[in-house]
């Protein structure tokens, strides 16, 4: 267990740490445009302030990043006792997942929400800071009420990591990508070569860690050690951020895990590779429901969730990434949600900040409802 993530950590100690980063957070990111609305809270200082204002939940420092920045955990709902005698891997080997965590179908659902591990994908930060506001007041920072979401949060244990990669966020100069050029945004997110030429996806993943002679300017994709947290060395993690997230999942045994990302295209739930077919089916089922919510709200959407497919049917195979690793330490349904960034380039959907926050809040609303409706049952 990371020393800073301790149930016995005093609230005074946690708030002192939050106060310190609040002062530093304002200097981490260059000021955004004055046109950004007040509810658009995407800076590290916004995260620190939101965590400091938590009263109904519990705030802790989960870990420190490679760049020595605090990573916060805010939890709502009591922690149930789920006695276990094995880790999840051994329990599955023993044909008894309940030997890791007792889940009888009547327990309080546990939902883990992980803010962006790619520092420039700030939309997830905005969403989670607004979710914290709903948990505390019933309203988001626009003043909009979310009664069903607030009620379902009260029925669950909800674990919120507002930003998974504060190093990358500190390196990203924009507070919002709305109206910006996709090429300019990607250069900031993925970094540049020594000759100044920007890296692009997927080539940016072909050097890892991103260090040394390959780096002109380190992009927000990475922590300060050049690690893309989605693609850590899973059998010996390189980054303190990933170690902390895996430890949190192992200790809490969440039923549902969502890692918040953003891209230029329509919002999506992405497939998770190398997980059981039943997990893939659940991801598709949830994705279908979410896309219907987006369509009904008049927002950009897709036909549905990802169709379950065999991994490695073609070459190259999909990567084993953070979501897959999180599943394999706790058995939870782990998935990636990709929001829209709202760039100004065609053919990508153009969205306002208000619409982007709607995408995030509808995700949380549907996810918590889904978790309440689908209690996990593991039997020995």
Q: Which of 39-48, 77-86, 149-158 has the lowest mean pLDDT?
A: 77-86
Q: Which of 28-32, 105-109, 289-293, 373-377 has the lowest mean pLDDT?
A: 28-32
Q: Which pLDDT band, with edges at 50, 70 and 90, does 17 fall under?
A: very low
Percent of the chain with pLDDT over 70: 91
Which range has the top average pLDDT, 14-28, 82-96, 362-376? 362-376
Q: How far apart are CA 155 and CA 153, in angstroms?
A: 5
> What is the pLDDT averaged over residues 336-358?
96
Q: Average pLDDT of the chain?
A: 91
Q: How far apart are CA 344 and CA 180, in angstroms?
A: 6
* 26 has a pLDDT exceeding 90: no
pTM for this prediction: 0.91
Q: Which of 21-35, 39-53, 213-227, 289-303 has the lowest mean pLDDT?
A: 21-35
CATH number for the region 11-28+40-378 comes to: 3.40.630.10
* 14 has a pLDDT exceeding 80: no
* 47 has a pLDDT exceeding 70: yes
Q: Which pLDDT band, with edges at 50, 70 and 90, does 380 fall under?
A: low
Query: What pLDDT, on the 0 to 100 scale, is given for residue 83?
Result: 79
> What is the pLDDT averaged over residues 268-291?
98
Query: What pLDDT, on the 0 to 100 scale, is given for residue 35?
Result: 82
Chain length of the chain: 380
Q: How far apart are CA 20 and CA 37, in angstroms?
A: 26
* 28 has a pLDDT exceeding 60: no
* 20 has a pLDDT exceeding 60: no
Q: Which pLDDT band, with edges at 50, 70 and 90, does 82 fall under?
A: confident
- The dihedrals phi and psi of 104, each to the nearest 5 degrees, come to -105, 5
Q: Which of 8-12, 157-161, 287-291, 313-317 has the lowest mean pLDDT?
A: 8-12
Write the DSSP assignment of 132-187 as a string of letters: HHHHHHSB-TTS-B-HHHHHHHHHSEEEEES-S-HHHHHH---S--TTS-HHHHHH
* 300 has a pLDDT exceeding 90: yes
Q: Which residues contact 380 (CB under 8 A, 6 or more apart)?
A: 96, 98, 99
How many Å separate Cα 171 from the centre of its chain?
Answer: 18
Q: How buried is 127 (Cβ within 10 angstroms: 0-12 exposed, 13-18 middle, 19+ buried)?
A: buried
């Amino acid at each position: 267990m990371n020393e800073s993530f301790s149930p016995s950590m005093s609230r005074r100690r946690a708030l002192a740490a939050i106060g310190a980063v609040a002062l530093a957070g304002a200097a981490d990111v260059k000021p955004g445009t004055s046109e950004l609305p007040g509810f658009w809270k995407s800076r590290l200082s916004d995260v620190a302030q939101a965590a400091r204002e938590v009263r109904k939940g519990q705030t802790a420092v989960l870990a420190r990043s490679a760049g020595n920045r605090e990573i916060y955990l805010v939890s709502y709902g009591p922690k149930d006792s789920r006695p276990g005698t094995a880790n999840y891997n051994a329990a599955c080997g023993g044909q008894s997942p309940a030997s890791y965590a007792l889940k009888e179908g009547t327990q309080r659902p546990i939902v883990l929400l992980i803010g962006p591990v790619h520092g420039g994908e700030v939309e997830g930060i905005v969403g989670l800071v607004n979710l914290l506001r709903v948990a505390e007041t019933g309203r988001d920072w626009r003043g909009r009420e979310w009664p069903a979401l607030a009620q379902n949060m009260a029925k669950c244990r909800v674990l919120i990591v507002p930003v998974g990669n504060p190093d990358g966020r500190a390196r990203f100069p924009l507070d919002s990508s709305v109206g910006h050029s996709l090429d300019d945004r990607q250069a900031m997110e993925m970094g540049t070569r020594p000759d100044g030429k920007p890296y692009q996806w997927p080539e940016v993943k072909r050097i890892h860690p991103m260090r040394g002679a390959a780096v002109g300017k380190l992009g927000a994709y990475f922590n300060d050690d050049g690690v893309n947290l989605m693609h850590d060395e899973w059998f010996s993690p390189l980054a303190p951020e990933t170690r902390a997230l895996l430890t949190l999942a192992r200790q809490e045994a969440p039923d549902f895990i969502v890692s918040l990302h953003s891209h230029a295209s329509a919002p999506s739930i992405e497939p998770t590779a190398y997980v059981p077919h039943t997990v893939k089916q659940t991801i598709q089922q949830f994705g279908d429901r979410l896309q219907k919510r987006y369509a009904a709200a008049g927002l950009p959407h897709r036909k549905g969730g990802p169709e379950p497919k065999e991994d490695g049917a073609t070459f190259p195979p999909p990567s084993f990434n953070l979501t897959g690793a999180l599943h394999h330490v706790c058995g939870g349904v782990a998935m990636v949600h990709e929001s829209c960034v709202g760039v100004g380039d065609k053919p990508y959907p153009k969205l306002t900040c208000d619409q982007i926050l709607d995408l995030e809040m509808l995700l949380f609303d549907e996810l918590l409802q889904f978790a309440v409706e689908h209690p996990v049952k593991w039997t020995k």
